[in-house]
Chain A
């Protein structure tokens, strides 16, 4: 099982990352990828850019912990997580999650699990830059609920 976790300020090529995940594999039956993009508006108001602050050291460790948990829960053949920090303009990618498995169920579930956890637990903070100043994005309780349902699912198992 090959896993890649990368934090970087520069943009990434989602197509190249997807291709790398399955290159030379005959056992892969399913590849699920998610790319989060910088929207040109926040709550309907146009923005110039997003700036992502992160906690170096902890961000990598927290993502690695969740990749390890995903590996323990689903039969994965490969995982890639890339998260950017710094200033990001509308249309640019922010985050990439790719999961490879023999079958689609595991690939879908693991990708969704990783995204839900990145949203709620990975130490990143978005600041919105508008013409008239900057504000911090408020956490959505829906993101906490999305992450919490994976706990409930474990408890029910």
Chain B
């Protein structure tokens, strides 16, 4: 499955890119699985996800928890806690 992965704010800075298309292995089923798997792809990912509890996720532009299934989503985004308003 190919998923568009987007990064924002300091997660984007640490990963070193704003977005990428990722071929997700079949055994990566949930948002939490994906975070674990991405963390193994290099130092920049390990740094971005070093404290996975801090990094938030949105699946197809809806907030989700780590246990959410990736299902047939097209896009996932990772970002720090929001500071708008």
Contact = CB atoms under 8 A, between A and B. Distances in A.
Interface hub of A61, A124, A144 (most chain B Cβ within 10 A): A124
Interface stretch (B2-10, B23-31, B35-43): B2-10
Contacts of B6: 55
Contact of A54 (B58, B80, B84): B84
- Which of B77, B80, B83, B85 counts the most A-chain CB atoms under 10 A from its CB? B85
Interface in B34-85: 58, 61-63, 77, 79-85
Given A53-B8, A55-B77, A123 B82 contact: yes
A30 interface: no
A55 B58 contact: yes
A121 B9 contact: no
Nearest to B13: A136
Interface residues of B, number: 16
A139 B85 contact: no
A119 B81 CA distance: 10
A141 to B, nearest CB: 9
A125 interface: yes
A57 interface: yes
B15 to A, nearest CB: 14
Given A36-B85, A53-B8, A115-B85, A136 B58 contact: no
B61 A137 contact: no
Contacts of B58: 55, 58, 123
Given A55-B61, A125-B9, A125-B82, 7 more contacts: A55-B77, A58-B62, A61-B62, A83-B84, A119-B82, A119-B84, A138-B81
Contacts of B8: 53, 55, 123, 125
B61 A126 contact: no
Contacts of A126: 83-84
A138 B83 contact: yes
